[in-house]
């Protein structure tokens, strides 16, 4: 794989059993690149190791006053110089290629996993952790893959040099050959502590990254409540902890570097002392001593790669482990057994008992917003695979969880929750593309990517809903006017107006309505909306609800909301409490017959009575006149 061939057509199926296994899988996947790098590295290292021989021959030629020998030594040194230059250049090219391609493979794997899990990813892994893995961790993993081949070349070169010195001059070569393994392994006792300190540093750096990411995401809210200084103080403390951990880690690596300078220095001193004595005794020649000394000196260069590979592994192992935690997440524990089909029919969750009849507008009321978010994810097939039935908890039935040991859990272990059914077909059994086509979930806080409005609405769809109809149903007239005024086109076409990243140039209500229009354009078999009108005023809310109901007529729509205006328009309302549907019917029937439903919708206090400030609102909401809703519907139909 070359850089020009990126991205990979298929990044492969990684080994996510552990961080080291993932690194081994990456290395095997780039075996050709590793062998190329190893070849050029051996050429480079062996050419460097051959320089002492040329220098020794040149010195000996001067001593013997032999011009022919001196010329031969000069030619040998020049040839070795060419090999060093070529080897170093190609080694750098292949090593950097290995680095970039490994990092690109990991990033593609992470992007594929993000697309597979969707919004469920950030419910399982913090957004800051995902950012840290896809940036800093990817770089460290690539560093280890790149350093591996250079380390292998250095290790082979050291073996060849030691063997060559023993054959060239056994009296001194044996001393060097015995000392080199000790020099290479001397730092091993220090590596565990250095690795632990590197892990602590990376953990604290990841925490600081998460804190910064969360702070930036909520900056507008923090400014509204005056919490900037509070979170700035938290980040400062986290940053100082990262600095202290980095200093502690750097001290250990400095000690390792010092050891690798001190011990080779002692070897050179001993070599010179012993070799000088041998020269004085006439047992070896001066040129031989120079050759062995030069070879021992140049051996310090490949020895440095032992320190580098230890450092690269120490930093990449925890990075690989964090990447594995993300890549090991699964959309479903069940393999896809059906072909590319889009089922039709009722949307049913066997865990909660929620039923959304086909072609109807179903509203769902949950007292717990987090429970509503989890249920919305389940309806879209994004449920966590390790979710289990809990005795008396969400979706738990006595017969389902009461094991033979009386602990409320089967002896064989917890069982995964059953999948949501669409037309009797389990979403987990569908291929991912088919499941996404069948059911679309709009998150409570949808994200708008940067680009023009036309690009925003250019999404995979059934082709039955025009962008203009979706914008009208979502009541985006004021948004289009604002975009038209900001348009750079002479005709003021709002479709060509560029929307900034995450829609920051728009208000919260405008972003929410544009996201709703984007969801309506896709026209899925079942559309799940989590609080689709939470950021708009009541008048606009009624018009949006009426527009969605009109446009989605004949399609299954599920809206999680506690707004009386939206609930009154729904064909069917389901009340979820404690992870189960406890009541279903029309809004007015539930408002009259279900105290808990009335408490959630009208914001009653815990004792079942309305708070004084909300008493008037309760009386007004309980007697909502259908004429207001009808007027909104009529207005929508007139516009259509």
H helices then E strands: how many in the chain? 25, 12
Domain end (from 327, 355, 387): 327
Q: 362-376, 393-407, 410-424, 516-530: which has the minimum mean pLDDT? A: 393-407
- The pLDDT-based confidence of 127 (bands split at 50, 70, 90) is low
- The pLDDT-based confidence of 615 (bands split at 50, 70, 90) is very low
Task: Give the pair of three-digit tokens for residue 116.
Answer: 């597979």
Does a structural domain hold residue 403? Answer: no
Q: What's the pLDDT at 355?
A: 93
Average pLDDT over residues 479-486: 84
Percent of the chain exceeding pLDDT 70 equals 82
pLDDT of 597 above 90: yes
Q: Which of 54, 537, 4 is nearest to 294 (CA)?
A: 54
Cβ count within 10 A of residue 593? 11
How far apart CA 529 and CA 362 sit, in angstroms, is 10
Q: What's the pLDDT at 549?
A: 92
Whether 262 and 353 share a structural domain: no
Does a structural domain hold residue 575? Answer: yes
Tell me how long the chain is: 640
Does a structural domain hold residue 34? Answer: yes
Cβ count within 10 A of residue 2? 9
Q: 200-209, 389-398, 506-515: which has the minimum mean pLDDT? A: 389-398
Domain end (from 327, 359, 386): 327
Q: 72-76, 122-126, 366-370: which has the minimum mean pLDDT? A: 122-126
Does a structural domain hold residue 310? Answer: yes
Task: Give the pair of three-digit tokens for residue 633.
Answer: 């519907």
- The pLDDT-based confidence of 169 (bands split at 50, 70, 90) is confident
pLDDT of 584 above 80: yes
Which DSSP state fits 6?
P
Give the residue, 416 or 99, on which the prediction is more confident.
99
Does a structural domain hold residue 517? Answer: no
Reported as a single tens digit per residue, the pLDDT across 74-83 is 899 999 999 9
**Cβ 24 vs Cβ 148: under 8 Å:** no
Whether 227 and 367 share a structural domain: no
How far apart CA 476 and CA 544 sit, in angstroms, is 9
Q: What's the pLDDT at 479?
A: 87
Give the residue, 177 or 501, on which the prediction is more confident.
177
Q: What's the pLDDT at 389?
A: 40
Does a structural domain hold residue 460? Answer: no
Q: 116-120, 268-272, 278-282: which has the minimum mean pLDDT? A: 116-120
Reported as a single tens digit per residue, the pLDDT across 292-348 is 887 788 777 788 888 788 778 877 888 888 888 888 887 654 554 555 567 888 999
Whether 351 and 321 share a structural domain: no
Average pLDDT over residues 493-497: 85
The label of the residue with tokens 């408002």 reads 591
**Cβ 636 vs Cβ 550: under 8 Å:** yes
Which DSSP state fits 562?
-
CATH number of the domain that residue 166 is part of: 1.20.1560.10
Q: What's the pLDDT at 123?
A: 67
Q: What's the pLDDT at 321?
A: 87
Q: 241-255, 309-323, 483-497: which has the minimum mean pLDDT? A: 483-497
Number of domains the chain contains: 2
How far apart CA 617 and CA 609 sit, in angstroms, is 13
CATH number of the domain that residue 596 is part of: 3.40.50.300
Q: What's the pLDDT at 509?
A: 87
Q: What's the pLDDT at 114?
A: 82
pLDDT of 242 above 70: yes
Does a structural domain hold residue 483? Answer: no
pLDDT of 351 above 60: yes
Q: 121-130, 481-490, 493-502: which has the minimum mean pLDDT? A: 121-130
Whether 313 and 364 share a structural domain: no
Whether 229 and 363 share a structural domain: no
**Cβ 274 vs Cβ 289: under 8 Å:** no
H or E element that contains 77: helix 67-117
DSSP 312-368: HHHHHHHHHHHHHHHHT--S-SSPP-S-S----S-EEETTTTEEE-TTSEEEEEES-
Percent of the chain exceeding pLDDT 90 equals 17
How far apart CA 40 and CA 537 sit, in angstroms, is 68
Alpha helix (H) ranges present in 189-299? 191-217, 219-225, 228-280, 286-298
How far apart CA 108 and CA 139 sit, in angstroms, is 14
Q: Which of 566, 544, 346 is nearest to 439 (CA)?
A: 346
Whether 291 and 437 share a structural domain: no
DSSP 442-481: E-SS--PPSEEHHHHT-----S-S-HHHHHHHTT-HHHHH
Q: What's the pLDDT at 353?
A: 93
Q: Which of 514, 511, 569, 508 is nearest to 543 (CA)?
A: 569
Domain end (from 293, 327, 361): 327
Whether 250 and 352 share a structural domain: no
Mean pLDDT score of the chain: 79
Task: Give the pair of three-digit tokens for residue 146.
Answer: 């790149």
Q: Which of 343, 363, 515 is nearest to 439 (CA)?
A: 343
**How many C-alpha atoms does 217 have within 13 Å on its Cβ side?**
12
Does a structural domain hold residue 509? Answer: no
Q: What's the pLDDT at 415?
A: 56
- The pLDDT-based confidence of 365 (bands split at 50, 70, 90) is very high
**Cβ 541 vs Cβ 509: under 8 Å:** no
Average pLDDT over residues 7-28: 87
> Could you list the residue range(s) of the whole structural domain that residue 266 is in?
10-327
pLDDT of 625 above 50: no
Burial (0-12, 13-18, 19+ Cβ within 10 Å), 626: exposed
Reported as a single tens digit per residue, the pLDDT across 170-202 is 888 888 888 888 887 787 788 788 878 877 887
Whether 232 and 147 share a structural domain: yes
Whether 277 and 358 share a structural domain: no
Which DSSP state fits 136?
I
Q: What's the pLDDT at 307?
A: 76
How far apart CA 258 and CA 263 sit, in angstroms, is 9
Whether 312 and 220 share a structural domain: yes
Q: 69-83, 150-164, 572-586: which has the minimum mean pLDDT? A: 150-164
pLDDT of 213 above 80: no
pLDDT of 617 above 50: no
Whether 312 and 170 share a structural domain: yes
**Cβ 307 vs Cβ 261: under 8 Å:** no
DSSP 471-528: HHHTT-HHHHHHHHHH--STT--GGGPEEPGGGTTS-HHHHHHHHHHHHHHH--SEEE
Whether 437 and 306 share a structural domain: no
- The pLDDT-based confidence of 218 (bands split at 50, 70, 90) is low
pLDDT of 620 above 50: no
Q: What's the pLDDT at 333?
A: 46
Q: What's the pLDDT at 160?
A: 84
Distances (CA, A) of 370 to 122, 182, 530, 560: 14, 59, 11, 11
């Amino acid at each position: 794989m070359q850089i020009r061939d990126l991205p990979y057509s298929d990044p492969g199926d990684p080994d996510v059993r552990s961080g080291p296994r993932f690194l081994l899988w990456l290395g095997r996947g780039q075996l050709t690149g590793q062998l190329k790098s190893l070849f050029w590295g051996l050429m480079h290292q062996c050419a460097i190791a051959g320089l002492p021989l040329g220098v020794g021959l040149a010195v000996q030629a001067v001593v013997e006053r032999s011009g022919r020998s001196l010329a031969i030594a000069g030619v040998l040194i020049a040839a070795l110089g060419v090999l060093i230059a070529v080897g170093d250049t190609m080694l750098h090219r292949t090593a950097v290629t290995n680095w970039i391609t490994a990092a690109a493979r990991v990033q593609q794997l992470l992007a594929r996993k993000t697309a597979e899990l969707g919004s469920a990813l950030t419910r399982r892994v913090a957004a800051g952790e995902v950012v840290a893995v896809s940036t800093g961790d990817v770089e460290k993993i690539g560093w280890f893959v790149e350093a591996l081949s250079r380390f292998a070349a250095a290790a082979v070169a050291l073996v060849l040099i030691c063997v060559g010195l023993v054959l060239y001059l056994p009296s001194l070569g044996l001393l060097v050959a015995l000392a080199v393994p000790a020099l290479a392994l001397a730092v091993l006792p220090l590596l565990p502590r250095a690795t632990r300190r590197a892990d602590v540093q990376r953990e604290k750096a990841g925490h600081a990254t998460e804190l910064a990411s969360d702070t930036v995401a909520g900056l507008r809210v923090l400014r509204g409540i005056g919490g900037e200084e509070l979170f700035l103080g938290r980040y400062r403390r986290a940053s100082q902890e990262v600095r202290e951990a980095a200093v502690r880690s750097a001290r250990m690596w400095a000690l390792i570097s010092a050891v690798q300078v001190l011990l080779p220095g002692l070897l050179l001193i001993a070599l010179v002392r012993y070799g000088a004595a041998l020269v004085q005794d006439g047992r070896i020649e001066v040129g031989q001593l120079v050759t062995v000394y030069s070879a021992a000196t140049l051996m310090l260069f490949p020895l440095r790669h032992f320190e580098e590979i230890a450092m690269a592994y120490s930093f990449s192992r925890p990075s690989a482990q964090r990447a594995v935690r993300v890549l090991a997440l699964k959309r479903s524990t069940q393999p896809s057994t059906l072909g590319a089909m889009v089922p039709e029919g009722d949307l049913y969750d066997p865990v909660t008992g929620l039923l959304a009849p086909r072609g109807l507008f179903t509203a769902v009321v949950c007292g717990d917003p987090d429970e509503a978010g989890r249920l919305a994810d389940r309806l879209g097939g994004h449920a966590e695979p390790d979710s289990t039935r809990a005795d008396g908890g969400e979706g738990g039935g006595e017969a389902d969880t009461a094991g033979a040991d009386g602990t409320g859990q089967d002896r064989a272990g917890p069982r995964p929750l059953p999948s949501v059914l669409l037309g009797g077909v389990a979403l987990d059994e569908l291929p991912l593309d088919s499941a996404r086509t069948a059911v679309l979930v709009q998150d409570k806080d949808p994200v708008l990517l940067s680009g023009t409005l036309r690009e925003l609405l250019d999404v995979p769809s059934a082709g039955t809903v025009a962008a203009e109809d979706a914008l009208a149903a979502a009541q985006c007239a004021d948004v289009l006017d604002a975009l038209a005024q900001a348009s750079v086109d002479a005709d003021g076409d709002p479709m060509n107006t560029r929307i900034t990243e995450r829609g920051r140039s728009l208000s919260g209500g405008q972003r929410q309505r544009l996201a709703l229009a984007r969801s309506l354009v896709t026209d899925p078999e079942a559309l799940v909306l989590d609080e689709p009108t939470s950021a708009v005023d009541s008048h606009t809310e009624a018009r949006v609800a009426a527009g969605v109901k009109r446009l989605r007529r004949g399609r299954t729509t599920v809206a999680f909301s506690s707004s009386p205006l939206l609930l009154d328009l729904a064909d069917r309302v389901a009340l979820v409490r404690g992870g189960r549907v406890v009541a279903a019917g029309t809004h007015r029937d539930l408002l009259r017959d279900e105290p808990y439903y009335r408490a959630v919708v009208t914001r009653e206090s815990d004792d079942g009575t309305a708070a004084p400030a909300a008493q008037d609102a309760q009386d007004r909401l309980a007697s909502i006149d259908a004429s207001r809703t009808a007027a909104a519907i009529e207005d929508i139909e007139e516009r259509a």
